[in-house]
Chains A and B, each alone.
Chain A
Amino acid sequence: MLETKTPDQKERTDRAGLLSQETFEAHLASLPSAPSWLVDLKRAAWEKFAALPFPGRRDEQWRYARPRDFSLNQFGLSGDGATEDAATLIRDSHYIKNFSGEQIFSDNHLIWEDPLSADLRDKGVIFLPLADAWNKHGNILQEYFLCRTPALGAQKFEELHAAMVANGTLLYVPRGVEIEAPIIIRHWACRNRTALFPHTLVIAEDNARVDVAEVFESHSEYGKNFVCGMASIFAGSGSQVFYQGVQGWNLKTTSIHLNSVTAERDANVKTILLNVGSSYCRNEQHTRIMGPGSEVTNLALSTPAGEQEYDLRTLQTHSAPHTRSTLLYKNALFGDSRATFSGLIKVEAQAQQTDAYQTVRNLLLDANAQANSLPGLEILANDVKCSHGATTGMLDEEQLFYLRARGVTEPAAQRLLVFGFFEEVIGNIVNEELRDNLRRLVHRKLQS
């Protein structure tokens, strides 16, 4: 709010900005078949959004984040969504060979769909764009849609998301169904000054198993976009869910990704985030462990460079006994970048026999890079094992020397060591193609 406006942030003139009532009404009009519960929800959210203040300087939940003027009025909605070049986008969307289903979105619109096999559909698996699911599966959506948000400081943006979300994915895996190959979801930002509201809802019923990989990218490096996305995972008793999110928006984009996990009894959930893009990205991750025996792992890799800023906020809430959560966030910071990690482990009084771990490792590769860590614990039960660790340091001189002594150039040696630093996280991905893809993405970022 304190930043002065640069000419490039000037208000849009061709159409109404994101904050105007006109834009909201146009958005509602673009959803003619939306059920009444959804319209009510959106109207309520829009009102709350308008009433809530933007995060301020003294807001603890935004501590260490650079004060910023989101200038939301410079962005608008994607209109009719006629994408100039859907074919190119689809071609560029190739991610892995072996997948169970794929949806490709461009500026909030579905442009391509690879449906599930008939076998999975017969078993009752639902993999639909939200635009179709509102009406077809209203009962599921009314129960799960936006019912658990991270609530780690970006409440205003959660309301904005609820008010403006137009499309996204519903993935519902019924009891006992196991999906072998991953489900792929792609979101592209194409048109300049468009606001994107990707939404992914994954519901794994008891003993179900599914892997989901989401990739967020801009189609050109010039367009400037605002993204406010949400991914919610509900893991039923004994279910196994793997989620991978790749945030690769271009360097002009401001993005906010609000993720949450709810794990019931004996559920096993693993999430991994890769942050390579955006000028500013705030990533909230709230894990709620609701049932005994459940285990959740939250991993993240971030490589901010240049002027990039990553603002990572996490919360691990243990509400049931005999549970385990492990969080490992690794940041390699280049140039003048900044990464803030703020994490909390909350163990409620009834959650005895909890094991909860939280680790953040910052690697500063340039003297101007800034790493801020706010690792927190709030423990209300006594029979627990909880720890957090936060380290910030530079590359090991001896390791660098070793590589240079073998003729590796300094930048290459640096890259190699950063790669090794990340491998601890990447090695956790079971699916080989997804694992290799992540390596490739990290590599691409380090080369640039």
Chain B
Amino acid sequence: MQSQPTLEIDRDKGDFHYDTKYEYDAGVGLSEATVNYISSVKGEPEWLHEFRLKALDIFNRKPMPTHWATKDLENIHFDKIRYYLASGQRPSRTWEEVPDDIKETFERLGVPEQERKFLAGVEAQFDSEAAYSNMKEELSKEGVIFVGSTEGLKEHPEIFRKWFGKVIPIGDNKFSALNSAVFSGGSFIYVPPGVKVKQPLQAYFRNNAENFGQFERTLIIADEGSEVTYMEGCTAPKFESTTLHSAVVELIAMPGARMQYITVQNWSNNVFNLVTKRGMAMEDATIKWIDCNIGSRLTMKYPAVILRGKRARGEVLSIALANDGQHQDTGAKMIHAADETTSNIVAKSISVGKGRSTYRGLVHIPRHLKNCRNNTECDALLINSNSRTDTYPAISVRGDGNSVQHEASVSKVSEDQIFYMRQRGLNEGEAMSLAVNGFVNDLIREFPMEYSVELKRLIEIEMEGSVG
């Protein structure tokens, strides 16, 4: 294993900001003109332009979902957000072509290091457009396509158009409609039948312009019997005013395919992170979401799997940490749509200080199905006396031989544990941090090595000063 963690991302490193000159700028606010501008700058075909306009119309008509979600959503000022910025239109192919100041940003994020080390391909998103994009030769030889969303729709429409917007339709929710109207950036990946991508594909997202929403769009198609792991990590500089991140991620696992989508997110305290993630698993396919949410003002994210083929399997493993002023509203959805499908959800949340973490889940097994199973566990840990946690699962079951179990528990770190560790010379903060790491340890082990190291560090940083 690595002697030194390669992904050294922590708050200190993310907390910087260079002036970047934007060559394209759609201005502030959202209107038909904004959408027209984005579409024309990207030189998009007419169908895509119409898709965006339709999405804008749906976005404008849909009410905020505040009848179940937090009222904090009303504090998003859509007219004060920049919807599109890009420093260049064509993604750079080699490292040398990347502009120097952007390079410097990536240097601090450690992107080139990973490139050198072992990662198969890097698609680092700097604001809206992929500023740097490269793939290892053997991958392209095997026919793996790993491009930005704009490029994907332009150059491989026969592959991506078929599934684009199909797993998450425009009108799925207000924010998927917003993304559909103004999306730019994100990754489009196609893995041909039988190809097993050995190393994780990786992308970085990083917000850089104040008041600038980032609306990336990711579509990953794993063809029959293929395997792929995708990782995304986020850091964002701390800004004065609120920013919005609203991504749409669609996964398609064809029969027998296995997909893993890993997110480690560490947004700064003022970011609204409202993301729609959904995968569709065909016969014998597996989709696994591993999701770690730290930071942001409000995160609303419920990775979903539609189990469409027989014996498909869906999994969501999620860790959320909410600190002062943060609300992690996360969870999972499992929509069973074929016989003998199974799903598993394990969610752990930690609330520190005045942080609030919420689990929201949906498990749906309709009546014509047989022998489906779901298991859901959600555990919440409350650190301080003013911490808060909520759990709102929804489970609907019919049919023959289906079984569902859901369990949730809420607790605090046991006094005995703390006492034991303090006996051995640890101070209270260290003991608490260790206990919290123990609480999430079995989940963190599921992450790839370099992420788990980073995660433990992130949790330690978040726990600093929470006790004593």
Contacts and interface: CB of A to CB of B under 8 A. Distances in A.
B388 A379 contact: yes
A64 B394 CA distance: 9
B390 A389 contact: no
B382 to A, nearest CB: 4
B398, B400, B404, B411, most chain A CB atoms within 10 A: B398
Contacts of B408: 375, 377, 387-389
B397 A364 contact: yes
A371 interface: yes
Contact of A394 (B383, B384, B394, B403): B403
B344 interface: no
A372 B394 contact: yes
A58 interface: yes
A376 B403 contact: no
A389 B410 CA distance: 12
B385 A370 contact: no
A385 B403 CA distance: 27
A398 to B, nearest CB: 14
A58 B67 contact: yes
B410 A386 contact: yes
A381 B385 contact: yes
A375 B409 CA distance: 12
B397 A392 contact: yes
Given A367-B399, A369-B398, A387-B409, A376 B391 contact: yes
Contact of A382 (B68, B382, B402): B382
A96 interface: no
A322 interface: no
Contacts of A423: none
A349 B385 contact: yes
B406 interface: yes
A294 B383 CA distance: 25
Contacts of A370: 367, 396-398
Nearest to B411: A385
Interface string B387-426: 1111111111111111111111111100000000000000
A379 B397 contact: no
A63 interface: yes
B385 A376 contact: no
A63 B380 CA distance: 25
Contacts of A386: 409-411
A368 interface: yes
B359 to A, nearest CB: 8
Given A367-B399, A368-B398, A373 B406 contact: yes
Contacts of B393: 373-376, 390
B386, B393, B401, B408, most chain A CB atoms within 10 A: B408
Contact of B385 (A377, A378, A382, A390): A382
B466 to A, nearest CB: 11
A372 B395 CA distance: 5
Nearest to A384: B410
A232 B406 CA distance: 31
A268 interface: no
B394 A374 contact: yes
Interface in A256-302: none
A385 B404 CA distance: 23
Contacts of B407: 387-390
B367 A374 contact: no
A371 B363 CA distance: 12
B68 A60 contact: yes
A22 B299 CA distance: 53
Interface in B24-81: 67-68
A149 interface: no
A325 interface: no
A386 B392 CA distance: 14
20 contacts: A58-B67, A64-B394, A362-B397, A364-B399, A367-B398, A370-B396, A370-B397, A372-B395, A374-B392, A375-B406, A376-B390, A379-B382, A385-B411, A386-B410, A390-B393, A390-B406, A391-B403, A392-B405, A393-B404, A393-B405
Q: Give me the 6 closest cross-chain CB pairs, A-B, nearest first.
A: A382-B382, A393-B403, A377-B391, A367-B400, A387-B409, A386-B410
Given A373-B393, A384-B382, 20 more contacts: A58-B67, A367-B367, A368-B398, A370-B396, A371-B395, A372-B395, A372-B396, A375-B393, A377-B408, A378-B389, A379-B380, A380-B388, A381-B382, A382-B386, A384-B411, A385-B411, A389-B405, A389-B406, A391-B403, A394-B400
Interface of A: 58, 60, 63-64, 349, 352, 362, 364, 367-394
Interface of B: 67-68, 351, 367, 380, 382-412
